[in-house]
């Protein structure tokens, strides 16, 4: 039963992370959430407390209302998930869940539209049957396209289209952000036009009519903008963004049809959006072909008055070119006009980078095989027949093999490294929408977008970053009036930085808002019984309380954040990537969340240590120092156990041989060695027998049966072919403090 409860907890963590980033109307995300809830219901069958299934069923019912658009409020959904998490935590701790679920059930049951009367239902059925009869009398229509009717070759073409379209739509979003900052930049308009043109052409070939129709309308709108018939403004950009979001949903439905071997048609009604685009195209007045003029204006070669005057004269003399008019009126010089014409030609031609696309499965397999090659090469070097040989030519060949293997490993890992730029630029769109919804003025400043990180880390990092950005805008930044009253600029700033430090990547999310309210955090923690009133917590420990499940100090719940679903999930998502998150805050001046992550999930740098006959790897990120303690540095304190004095403070001593049940060479701490480690501002000293050296090892999974061992993150095959266990600092701390125990 305990394994099932733990599995339910993992399932709920994934559901909570989905809910944190969920938006009403996002049908693909709602569908994924429905699948997860159905799996949760299957996991929860047979639990002793029937209320868990009751709440889970109510959450699923409310999700159906969201999918059918009978409800739009996400608050009941998030409260239901929070209640389920509270249930699971009590069950995992062996306690009887106490919360009253009547309020949550009432919200989940009553939210949405009011119930229909029987007469209305009957009327709806009659209307539907009459409609069916009317349609049956018409001429037979073309059957809907289905994935089941496709050949394997056609399925592959369609799958390639889905992948390329998603990449194109992401590229459009990035360029739209740039266009909003420089709406007169024709190169950016062309960069947005080309992906729409590609989607339109391929979707037409594949007979995806709705995708083709919407992309064609958006393409026409952009074509008029680049020809000077439309002036790009906020309204045009919003329309294109809406088109991107709609196309994403439609392409996701195509993917679902492929996965389920079902229909490839979209359920999205594009008619209102197409009408809106066509209306803008028809009603916007032509404001003149000012492409050369806009380039000159942007370069500072002419003023806005010069450009407007030239356009007015061009209307009177339509055969004249704008450049000639500006030269004749001595508004600019010929070299400036020539430069603008060259820029115009370059914009129209565009630029396409040649790339080779590789299936990610093949890439991951190549990285895995390279790791195996590194292990095999290390084992060969340590083979006793090799080490006992005096053949210099053999050693020379082994040296060459070592160089080749190392180079191959570096290249293989670099192929899986991607710039974090794409993730950062998605945050620009997020901040724009959040600022508009919250009524705040927010500027997002970014640096280090070209910093590279493992592709798998980037994929896992997106949702935690979304939630932290949401918190920065909603909780961190004040309203414009509050900022002005506090002597700040009305516009708040969110800083997003990435850089490498010591073999790791550091990501900082900082705002210049009000900072964390330590008093409010303490008051909330005491009221919930998380800490005693006579606590002696440091500032860092107080701030870390916000990572406790369900913790929130928000006085007002908004549609952006504040329900307590998320920060604990963020912390667990970062720890799953073998990283850590730290908080720096200054009252009235803002907060900074600092995420430290390994560059890759495939290789870890650590210290190889020995305890008895077993060997373990301590991640280098957690190590502070290693030393042999003296007898004077060792002491015991009643209620706190064994302690080691280091750098002026007493640090708890943890005996690894006791935790893992192995025999140690030494019993007294001053006979062995200790390694001081840190995790979330907590420190401890690990007692061990020997330091074997610093190594980079290829991480191997321990398999399904051993993956949940407390204190162990994975394994690594060492040079002599034996397995070393990689220590998980979070689990070691929990075991040492009596919050869990390793399985043997």
**pLDDT reported for residue 349:** 43
- What's the rounded Cα separation, in Å, for the pair 674 and 685? 6
Q: What is the pLDDT of residues 370-385, one digit of tens each?
A: 878 887 887 887 788 8
Is 471 considered catalytic here? yes
- What's the rounded Cα separation, in Å, for the pair 655 and 663? 11
User: How large is the average pLDDT for residues 712-739?
Assistant: 78
CATH, domain range 418-598: 3.30.565.10
pLDDT tier at 264 (50, 70, 90 boundaries)? Answer: confident
**pLDDT reported for residue 495:** 92
**pLDDT reported for residue 136:** 38
pLDDT tier at 286 (50, 70, 90 boundaries)? Answer: very low
- What's the rounded Cα separation, in Å, for the pair 75 and 733? 35
**pLDDT reported for residue 510:** 92
Is 152 considered catalytic here? no
Question: What is the average pLDDT value for the chain, to the nearest integer?
Answer: 77
DSSP label of 479: P
- What's the rounded Cα separation, in Å, for the pair 723 and 616? 9
Pairing mode, strands 492-501 and 580-586: unpaired
CA angle 561, 566, 570 (to 5 degrees): 130
Contact 476, 612 (CB under 8 A): no
User: How large is the average pLDDT for residues 324-353?
Assistant: 66
pLDDT tier at 738 (50, 70, 90 boundaries)? Answer: low
Check the CA dihedral 52-53-58-62 and report its sign: positive
User: How large is the average pLDDT for residues 314-328?
Assistant: 77
User: How large is the average pLDDT for residues 681-692?
Assistant: 87
User: How large is the average pLDDT for residues 121-146?
Assistant: 42
Q: What are the boundaries of each domain within the chain? A: 2-110, 150-283, 291-349, 364-415, 418-598, 603-736
CATH, domain range 150-283: 1.20.120.160
**pLDDT reported for residue 342:** 61
On the question of pLDDT at 54 being above 60, the answer is: yes
In percent, the amount of the chain with pLDDT more than 90 equals 3
Query: What residues contact 434, with CB distance under 8 A and at least 6 apart?
Result: 440, 442, 469, 470, 473, 474, 560
Residue carrying structure tokens 């806009």: 294
**pLDDT reported for residue 121:** 38
Under CATH, what is the fold of the domain 2-110?
A: 1.20.120
**pLDDT reported for residue 553:** 60
Query: What residues contact 524, with CB distance under 8 A and at least 6 apart?
Result: 545, 551, 552, 553
Contact 608, 615 (CB under 8 A): yes
DSSP label of 472: I
Instruction: Tell which residue, 569, 573, 598, 621, has the closest CA to residue 727.
Output: 621
Query: Where is 283: in which H helix or E strand?
Result: helix 271-283
Partners of 691 in the β-ladder: 609
Q: What is the pLDDT of residues 619-664, one digit of tens each?
A: 887 888 899 989 888 988 876 788 998 888 888 999 988 888 888 8
**pLDDT reported for residue 619:** 85
Q: For residue 625, what are its two tokens? A: 């120092």
User: How large is the average pLDDT for residues 415-442?
Assistant: 83
Is 365 considered catalytic here? no
Instruction: Tell which residue, 509, 548, 507, has the closest CA to residue 525.
Output: 548
Residue carrying structure tokens 């990572």: 547
Query: What residues contact 691, with CB distance under 8 A and at least 6 apart?
Result: 607, 608, 609, 626, 673, 675
Catalytic residue among 6, 184, 197, 671: 197
Query: Where is 422: in which H helix or E strand?
Result: helix 421-438
**Span 603-736 CATH architecture:** Roll (2.30)
Q: What is the pLDDT of residues 151-199, one digit of tens each?
A: 777 778 888 888 888 888 888 887 877 777 777 777 788 888 888 888 8
3-state SS of 64-106? HHHHCCCCCCCHHHHHHHHHHHHHHHHHHCCCCCCCCCHHHHH
**pLDDT reported for residue 351:** 41
- Three-state SS for 173? helix
- Three-state SS for 429? helix
On the question of pLDDT at 560 being above 80, the answer is: no
End-to-end CA distance of the chain: 18
pLDDT tier at 142 (50, 70, 90 boundaries)? Answer: very low
Query: What residues contact 358, with CB distance under 8 A and at least 6 apart?
Result: 415
**pLDDT reported for residue 115:** 33
Name which residue leads in pLDDT, 566 or 511.
Answer: 511
Q: What is the pLDDT of residues 463-487, one digit of tens each?
A: 888 888 888 888 889 999 999 998 9
Contact 11, 40 (CB under 8 A): yes
User: How large is the average pLDDT for residues 63-88?
Assistant: 79
- What's the rounded Cα separation, in Å, for the pair 586 and 350? 47
Partners of 603 in the β-ladder: 698
pLDDT tier at 124 (50, 70, 90 boundaries)? Answer: very low
**pLDDT reported for residue 282:** 57
**pLDDT reported for residue 708:** 63
Catalytic residue among 168, 471, 504, 544: 471
The pair phi, psi for residue 245, each rounded to 5°, is: -60, -40
Residue 403 C-alpha from the chain's centroid: 36
- What's the rounded Cα separation, in Å, for the pair 471 and 587? 16
Could you check whether 2-110 and 150-283 share the same CATH topology?
yes
Catalytic residue among 18, 78, 180, 219: 219
pLDDT tier at 117 (50, 70, 90 boundaries)? Answer: very low
User: How large is the average pLDDT for residues 417-435?
Assistant: 82
Q: What is the pLDDT of residues 190-205, one digit of tens each?
A: 888 888 888 887 787 7
**pLDDT reported for residue 564:** 44
- What's the rounded Cα separation, in Å, for the pair 695 and 606? 6
Q: For residue 631, what are its two tokens? A: 């007898």
Query: Where is 732: in which H helix or E strand?
Result: helix 729-736
**pLDDT reported for residue 511:** 92
């Amino acid at each position: 039963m305990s394994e099932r409860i733990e599995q339910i907890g993992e399932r709920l963590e994934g559901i909570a992370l989905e809910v944190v980033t969920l938006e009403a109307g996002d049908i693909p995300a709602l569908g994924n959430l429905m699948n997860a809830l159905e799996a949760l219901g299957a996991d929860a069958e047979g639990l002793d407390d029937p209320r868990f299934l009751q709440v889970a069923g109510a959450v699923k019912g409310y999700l159906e209302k969201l999918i059918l658009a009978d409800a739009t409020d996400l608050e009941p959904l998030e409260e239901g998930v929070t209640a389920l998490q509270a249930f699971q935590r009590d069950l995992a701790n062996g306690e009887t869940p106490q919360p009253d679920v009547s309020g949550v059930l009432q919200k989940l049951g009553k939210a949405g539209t009011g119930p229909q009367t029987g007469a209305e239902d009957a009327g709806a059925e009659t209307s539907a049957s009459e409609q069916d009869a009317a349609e049956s009398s018409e001429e037979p229509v073309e059957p809907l396209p289905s994935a089941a009717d496709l050949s394997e070759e056609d399925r592959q073409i369609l799958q390639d289209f889905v992948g390329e379209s998603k990449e194109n739509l992401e590229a459009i979003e990035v360029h739209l952000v740039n266009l909003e900052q420089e709406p007169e930049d024709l190169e950016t308009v062309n960069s947005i036009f080309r992906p729409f043109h590609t989607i339109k052409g391929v979707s037409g070939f594949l007979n995806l009519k709705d995708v083709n129709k919407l992309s064609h309308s958006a393409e026409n709108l952009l074509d008029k903008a680049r020809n000077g018939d439309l002036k790009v403004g906020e309204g045009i950009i919003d329309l294109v963004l809406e088109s991107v979001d709609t196309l994403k949903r439609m392409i996701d439905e195509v993917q679902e049809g492929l996965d389920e071997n079902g229909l490839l048609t979209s359920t999205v009604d594009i008619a209102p959006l197409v009408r809106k685009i066509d209306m803008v195209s028809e009603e916007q007045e032509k404001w003149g072909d000012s492409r050369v003029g806009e380039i000159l204006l942007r370069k500072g070669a002419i003023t806005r008055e010069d450009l407007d005057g030239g356009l007015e004269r061009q209307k009177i003399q339509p055969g004249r070119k704008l450049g000639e008019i500006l030269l004749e009126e001595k508004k600019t010089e010929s070299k400036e006009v020539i430069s603008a014409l060259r820029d115009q030609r370059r914009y129209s031609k565009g630029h396409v980078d040649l790339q080779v696309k590789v299936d990610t499965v093949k890439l991951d397999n190549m990285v895995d095989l390279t790791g195996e090659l590194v292990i095999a090469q290390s084992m060969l070097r340590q083979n006793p027949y090799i080490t006992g040989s005096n053949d210099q030519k053999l050693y020379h060949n082994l040296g060459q093999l070592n160089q080749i293997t190392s180079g191959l490993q570096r290249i293989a890992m670099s192929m899986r490294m991607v710039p974090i730029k794409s993730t950062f630029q998605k945050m620009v769109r997020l901040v724009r929408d959040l600022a508009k919804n919250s009524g705040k003025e927010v500027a997002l400043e970014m640096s280090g977008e070209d910093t590279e990180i493992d592709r798998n880390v980037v994929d896992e990092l997106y949702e935690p970053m979304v939630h932290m950005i949401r918190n920065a805008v909603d909780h961190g930044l004040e309203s414009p009036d509050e900022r002005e009253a506090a002597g700040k600029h009305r516009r708040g700033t969110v800083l997003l930085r990435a850089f490498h430090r010591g073999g790791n990547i550091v990501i900082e999310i900082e705002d210049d808002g009000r900072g964390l309210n330590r008093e409010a955090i303490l008051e909330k923690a005491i009221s919930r019984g998380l800490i005693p009133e006579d606590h002696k917590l440091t500032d860092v420990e107080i701030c870390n309380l916000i990572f406790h499940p369900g913790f929130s100090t928000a006085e007002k719940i908004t549609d952006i954040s504040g329900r307590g679903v998320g920060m604990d999930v963020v912390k667990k998502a970062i720890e799953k990537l073998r990283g850590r998150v730290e908080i720096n805050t200054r009252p009235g001046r803002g907060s900074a969340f600092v995420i430290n992550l390994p560059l890759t999930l495939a290789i870890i740098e650590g210290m190889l240590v020995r305890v008895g006959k077993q060997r373990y790897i301590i991640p280098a990120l957690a190590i502070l120092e290693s030393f042999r303690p003296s007898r004077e540095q060792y002491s015991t304190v009643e209620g706190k156990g064994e302690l080691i004095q280091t750098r002026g403070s007493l640090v708890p001593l943890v005996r690894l041989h006791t935790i893992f049940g192995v025999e140690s060479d030494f019993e007294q701490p001053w006979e062995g060695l200790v390694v001081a480690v840190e995790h979330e501002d907590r420190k401890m000293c690990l007692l061990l027998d020997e330091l074997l050296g610093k190594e980079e090892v290829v991480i191997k999974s321990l398999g399904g049966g051993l993956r949940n061992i407390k204190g162990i993150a994975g394994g690594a095959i060492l040079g002599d072919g034996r397995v070393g266990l990689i220590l998980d600092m979070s689990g070691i701390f929990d075991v040492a403090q009596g919050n869990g125990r390793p399985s043997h």
